[in-house]
């Protein structure tokens, strides 16, 4: 069975470093026999805003428009807009999704945020019964591949921008892991715009080498759902017995579940037993 990879790509220029990173991925993965599809969001004119126009039917509650609820209803009725349906097909086919982008304001560009908002529809991508390690896409893998404007030293715990692990937690846990994806360590290209040509070339070469064994990598660690009381009575909180067991630990459970302790080192950057994302 052919492995299918979807690259969701967000950069305006075909001569950009991010374009070169995307091109390396397409070339290398296809040479390995993978089927590669690219959603070039700017070239597609992908709509970033989540609006009423995403639903091609009468609203369930037009007097009090609630986007999430109406979108889930439209997904069930198959009345979503055609561009969302097309991205849904790509997601369903993909074994791995790579999100390729320049980091904007500690996050993704608006057009990619719009892809998250519109494509990861309730019911299709998640539900309260199917989230995190019980998520709908738990058989799929996903990862972030992005460039920064700042240097690596600026994103360390003692750097002026703060710990990159903290910056990545909302995307990797709150978006990808929430939908069930096995999240591979990010590929971070530190400040290519301020790097010599030889350094940029080395970054691309390292990316190409990583791609050869990408699907065999261990994913990042996140807290298992069994550690939480997933009920409204338990307020979806960490179980008391688990809290007690963790009291003797030097570090918190994850970057997000720090429990007032030091953050586990590189919880959002490195998989167990290996270091990736640091070309």
Structural domain contains residue 86: yes
**32 domain residue, yes or no:** yes
* Distance from C-alpha of 116 to C-alpha of 235, rounded to nearest angstrom: 26
93 within domain boundaries:
yes
User: What residues form DSSP beta bridges with 97?
Assistant: 6, 142
Residue 142 sits in a domain whose CATH number is 3.40.50.360
Is 167 contained in some domain?
Answer: yes
Please tell me the distance from the alpha carbon of residue 65 to that of residue 49, in angstroms, as a whole number: 15
Query: Residue 33: inside a domain, yes or no?
Result: yes
The answer to whether position 238 is within a domain reads no
Answer whether residue 19 is part of any domain: yes
pLDDT tens digits in sequence order for the chain, 279 residues long = 789 999 999 999 999 999 999 999 999 999 999 999 999 999 999 999 999 999 999 999 999 999 999 999 999 999 999 999 999 999 999 999 999 999 999 999 999 999 999 999 999 999 989 999 999 999 999 999 999 999 999 999 999 999 999 999 999 999 999 999 999 999 999 999 999 999 999 999 999 999 999 999 999 999 999 999 988 888 889 999 999 999 889 999 999 999 999 999 999 999 886 655 444
Q: Residue 152: which domain range?
A: 4-220
**In this structure, how many other beta carbons lie within 10 angstroms of the beta carbon of residue 67?**
15
pTM, rounded to two decimals? 0.95
Please, which residues bridge with residue 39 across strands?
Answer: 8
Regarding beta strands 182-183 and 187-189, do their DSSP bridges make them parallel or antiparallel, or are they unpaired? unpaired
Number of domains in the chain: 1
Assess if residue 181 is contained within a domain. Answer: yes
pLDDT recorded at residue 271: 87
* CA-closest candidate to residue 100, choices 195, 204, 173: 204
Residue 80 DSSP class: B
């Amino acid at each position: 069975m052919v492995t299918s990879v979807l690259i969701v790509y967000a950069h305006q220029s075909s001569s950009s470093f991010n374009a070169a990173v995307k091109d390396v991925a397409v070339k290398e993965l296809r040479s390995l026999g993978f089927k590669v599809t690219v959603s070039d969001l700017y070239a597609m004119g992908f709509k970033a805003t989540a609006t009423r126009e995403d639903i091609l039917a009468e609203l369930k509650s037009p007097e009090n428009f609630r986007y999430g609820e109406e979108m889930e209803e439209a997904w069930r009725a198959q009345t979503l807009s055609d561009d969302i349906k097309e991205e849904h097909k790509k997601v369903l086919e993909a074994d791995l999704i790579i999100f390729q982008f320049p980091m904007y304001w500690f996050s993704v560009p608006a057009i990619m945020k719009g892809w998250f908002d519109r494509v990861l529809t309730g019911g299709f991508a998640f539900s309260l019964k199917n989230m995190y390690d019980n998520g709908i896409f738990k058989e799929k893998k996903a990862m972030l591949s992005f460039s920064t404007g700042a240097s690596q030293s600026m994103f360390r715990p003692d750097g002026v921008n703060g710990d990159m692990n903290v910056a990545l937690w909302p995307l990797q846990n709150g978006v990808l892991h929430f939908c069930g994806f096995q999240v591979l360590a990010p590929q971070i290209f530190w400040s290519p715009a301020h790097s010599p040509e030889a350094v940029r070339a080395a970054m691309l070469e390292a990316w190409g080498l990583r791609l050869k064994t990408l699907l065999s990598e261990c994913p990042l660690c996140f807290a298992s759902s069994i550690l939480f009381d997933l009920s409204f009575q338990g307020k979806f909180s960490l179980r008391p017995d688990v809290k007690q067991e963790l009291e003797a630990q030097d570090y918190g459970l994850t970057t997000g579940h720090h429990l007032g302790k030091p953050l586990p080192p590189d919880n959002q950057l490195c998989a167990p037993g290996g270091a990736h994302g640091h070309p």
